[in-house]
Structure 1
Amino acid sequence: MNQDPHIAMMSRRSLLKTASSGFGYLAFAGLSTWAAEKEAGPLRPKPTHFPARAKRVIFLCMEGGPSHVDTFDYKPKLSSDDGQTFGKGRAAGAKLLGSPWEFRQHGESGLWISELFPEVARCADDLCIVNSMQTDLPNHPQAFQQMHTGIFQFPRPSMGSWLQYGLGTENENLPGFVTICPPVNNGGSANYGSSFLPAIYQGTRIGYSGMPVADAVVSNLKNPKRRGADQRRQLDLVQALNRETVERDQVNPAIDGVIESYELAFRMQGELPDLMNLEHESEATRKRYGIGETATDDFGRQCLLARRFAEAGVRFVEICHGGWDQHFNLKQAHARNSLAIDRPIAGLLTDLKARGLLEDTLVVWGGEFGRTPYAQRNDGRDHNHKGYSIWMAGGGVRGGLAYGKTDEYGYEAVEGAVHVHDWHATILHLLGLDHEKLTYRYAGREMRLTDVKGKVVQGVIA
């Protein structure tokens, strides 16, 4: 075999020196890439696994479990058999309770929607109603946490944190994940926490449940003693001390999170207060959301804030409306709740569509489970995790579609069942993320939002 004379003349020592330089170069290249990524920050925009249909999510979270058979899952036989004995499972012997509200078909699609939502019904052709949702347990804390994190047995990152981790942010001056007036119970901060993901991916809370959103603020956003350049110099000193700690300890995720959060908070000062000022909106827009009217003002403000955040580049915005747990007083409480949210939600959908944002904004409505078709205390319904309804709009879903079915009374899903894991997988898919590839190594295994389950519901995708 012929040998290259240059190689033949190369001594073993020269070869090793050259090879070691190559290894050094590779190491340097790797460090340079790592440094560049660190400089760009963990919130930098990231490529999707495949072309996305949606860029952002607005989650309209209904805490307490709205009754699907009184809102979006029309069951005429339940009404015709009102008062008869229900014969399934532990509820055998209970009396069926027909819905006190009429259902009508709406839009060109003819979707059946209860008279509880006359304004949302005007948007019927944009809605994809999933009437076959399922979750694991009919208890509020577990089901609410599973809806947000995919699992309730252990602390896990919330859906918004996973999206921010997978996609980064569209606006470096704002958090990528905002939760407005979240509940303090049923998991509390775990529902918007980042768990084992880096702390920068956790949600930014604005207010809490029970507080008027007009009074809600981001804590510690302003420095009352220092402004502008003085504040920047003070922060630079603090950050230098933090970085010294990181260099000394080598790996300290907690300090990294503090450094990143301080920088984000500094940048937020210049943009967030103005973004939350709804006085910039026209009177016509405020009226569209029901702002200024007693029944709709608070949720209307949340919906308008959600639109403003989404328009400004926030990836995941969650707003919450509680009080849907009607074991009794169903007629009065569900009527009150629907009145509070109907006009604001219709205003949000209409506004997003008019601004060209609905096409790539996925709007999701739903609670942690539904309610039973049988009565509780004559004017209430118990928890039901075997079959219930959520709906989605925009962001690549098929509008004017009723997907899946529950049985004739609405007790359990019998066609096209969609588990919470499937729902999460589908949301990630619409955002261009493969739920099996969006992973983070922790405790010796690759973790993901859908755990080891979940399938994309192709039937709801346009």
Structure 2
Amino acid sequence: MNVSFTPSRRDLLRAASCAGAVGASGWLAPLASAAASDPRRTKSVILLWMNGGPATIDLWDLKPGHDNGGEFKDTKTTVPGLRISEHLPKLAGRGRDLAVVRSLTSKEGDHGRATVFAKTGYAPVGPIQFPHVGAAVARELVNESLDLPAFVSVAPGRTAAIGGGFLGPKFAPLAIGETATGPGELTVPDLDRAKGVTAAALDDRVELLAGLEKRFETGRASPVVDALQAATAKAVRLMRPEAAAAFELDKEPDRVRDAYGRTLFGQGCLLARRLVERGVPFVEVTLGGWDTHNNNFQQVKPLSAALDAGFAALLADLQSRGLLDSTVVVCMGEFGRTPRINARSGRDHWPASWAAVLAGGGIKGGRAVGKTSADGTTVEETPVKVPDLVATVCKAIGIDPQKQNMSNVGRPIRIADPSAKPIEELL
């Protein structure tokens, strides 16, 4: 299956002529506002990825009064009976938006395998190159007229390798934010012309590149060619000023940037809002540091502060712009951490019982799904598996989770595992 995109000569020259002229566009804000109020608007997904396996027992499913509960207290939210960590006060104020799934369960306790499982909905097996769920969403909801990528990943770190899989490089994420100019600063490199290169010279170079690619692809059909064409297409389309402007966070008022938090994660959440506002179907924002085998509580407290600011500001900002109903926000990691606190005041890997949170996009908030035991070690009510979560998100954004795509091993594979059951309580 060929999923490549080859830009036309006109596309290349148009993009090149715009390079170096990146700036804010006066019509983007009113266009985004109009799009947000359009009932036909395509939905988007923002995945807040807690890399390393967050201690969800210290975030969403606290056990006050039990030895496993540790140092943190729980606090009430705006929904009677729904309580979360005391270190998430801003999110507690948005309790009506939150659907807390407290009964996730898995058998994958290795970081690598669990990450693949959580991000694709399939456990790694043999030679099959399972795509990131973001790639699957991008394929279904891509707008070919949009200059921005259909899937953007902010500061993905070691999980960047999970990309388009058998859907091809066209739907692999654009990874940004891995090099920052300062605390909380996100940059997309190489959007401007190289120093000393004139617009005319760039026109010539892009025209030459188009000719060379045309000659190279003649008589060839391979993943290498597809990858080359996809990379070129992404690059030249991002050079257009309307696309590049989406990444200019300095155009946002200081009060908005401050509300999200001047962290890489907080500014990534702000960028996610700017991207879905412009029609990007899937954005992933990573907050790393959750592998808390040692001094769990000392590490989780500042991580909670960054999560609280970014997540809560994102929900408020989406709502104020009419985008919350069309954007599903998912907050999760690859697994949870042991209810029992180890000898180093830490928590170890624990896939048997953990939690995730969904909001927006028509998801029924203000509730908790499932229940764990008093000591947090087992799921007692409504067990939810990772593929169920994938199917729920697909349903919420209008994608059939059982739709099939041809894989790299020559057999069709569904977006979500055939056994997956959407969480009906949330839809």
The TM tier, using the shorter chain, reads: 0.7 to 0.9
State the one-letter code of the partner of 2:125. Answer: Q
Q: Which has the higher contact order (CA 8 A, sep 6+)?
A: 2
* Offset at residue 289 of structure 1 (A): 1.5
Q: How does 1:440-455 map to 2 (within 5 A)?
A: 440-455=406-421
Q: Decide which of 174, 188, 191 is 1:204's aligned counterpart.
A: 174
- In terms of mean alpha carbon deviation, does 382-391 or 97-106 score higher? 97-106
TM-score norm. by structure 1 comes to 0.78
* 8 Å Cα contact 2:167-2:407 kept in structure 1: no
* 2:58 matches 1:70: yes
- Tell me: CA distance 1:413–1:52, structure 2 relative to 1, closer, same or farther (3 Å): farther
Count of residue pairs the alignment pairs up: 390
Report what 1:235 is aligned to: 206
Structure 1 residues 330 and 39 mapped into 2: Cα distance closer, same or farther (>3 Å)?
closer
Do structure 1's residue 175 and structure 2's residue 149 form an aligned pair? yes
Query: Rg bigger for which structure?
Result: 1
The offset of 1:263, in angstroms, is 2.7
Alpha carbons of structure 1 residues 268 and 400: separation in structure 2 relative to 1, 3 Å: same
User: 1:2-401 to 2 correspondence within 5 Å?
Assistant: 55-76=43-64, 79-80=65-66, 82=67, 97-150=68-121, 151-154=123-126, 155-169=129-143, 172-184=146-158, 188-191=159-162, 193-208=163-178, 214-224=184-194, 226-228=197-199, 230-249=201-220, 251-269=221-239, 270-291=241-262, 297-377=263-343, 379-401=345-367
Which runs of 5 or more structure 2 residues have no equivalent in the other structure? 12-38
| Aligned twin of 1:460 | 426
1:437 aligns with 2:407: no
Could you say if the C-alpha distance between residues 416 and 391 of structure 1 is closer, same or farther in structure 2, counting changes exceeding 3 Å?
same
Instruction: Check conservation: 1:363, 1:393, Cα contact below 8 A.
Output: yes
- How far off its partner does 1:444 sit? 2.3
Q: 1:135-173 CA distances to partner (integer Å, 9 max, x unpaired)? A: 231121111121112233353211111111122137621
In structure 1, runs of 5+ residues without a counterpart are 1-33, 42-50, 83-96, 292-296
**1: CA distance, partners of 2:168 / 2:101:** 33
Shift of 1:38: 8.3
**Paired position in structure 2 for 1:20:** none
- Quick one: structure 1 residues 159 and 209, their matched pair in 2 at CA, closer, same or farther if it must change by over 3 Å? farther
Deviation at 1:115, TM superposition (A): 0.1
Distance in 2, Cα, partners of 1:146 & 1:227: 47
Say which SS state the counterpart of residue 131 (structure 1) adopts. Answer: strand
Query: Is the 8 Å Cα contact of residues 66 and 367 (structure 1) preserved in structure 2?
Result: yes
**Per-residue displacement from partner, 1:4-28 (whole Å, max 9, x unpaired)?**
xxxxxxxxxxxxxxxxxxxxxxxxx
The answer for the alignment partner of 1:420 in structure 2 is 386
- Return the offset for 1:54: 6.5
Alpha-carbon separation, structure 2, partners of 1:381 and 1:39: 50
Going from structure 1 to structure 2, the CA distance change for 1:232 and 1:133 (only over 3 Å counts) comes to: farther
Partners of 1:182 and 1:314 in 2: CA distance: 17
SS in 2 for 1:275: helix
Find runs of 4+ consecutive structure 1 residues off by over 6 angstroms: 37-41, 51-54
- Matched residue type, 1:68: T
User: CA–CA distance in 2 between the matches of 1:405 and 1:209?
Assistant: 40
Deviation at 1:183, TM superposition (A): 1.6
Deviation at 1:394, TM superposition (A): 0.2
Distance, in Å, in 2 between the alignment partners of 1:123 and 1:171 is 35
Q: 1:421: Cα distance to partner?
A: 0.9
SS at structure 1 position matched to 2:87: coil
Query: Which stretch shows the higher mean deviation, 314-323 or 132-141?
Result: 132-141
Contact map agreement 2:72 2:86 (CA 8 A) in 1: yes
Q: What is the deviation of 1:243? A: 2.7
3-state DSSP of counterpart to 2:261: coil
Measured at CA, do residues 311 and 383 of structure 1 come closer, stay the same or move farther in structure 2, by a change above 3 Å? same
CA distance in 1, matches of 2:309, 2:358: 17
What amino acid is aligned across from residue 260 of structure 2 in structure 1?
Y
TM-score w.r.t. length of structure 2: 0.84
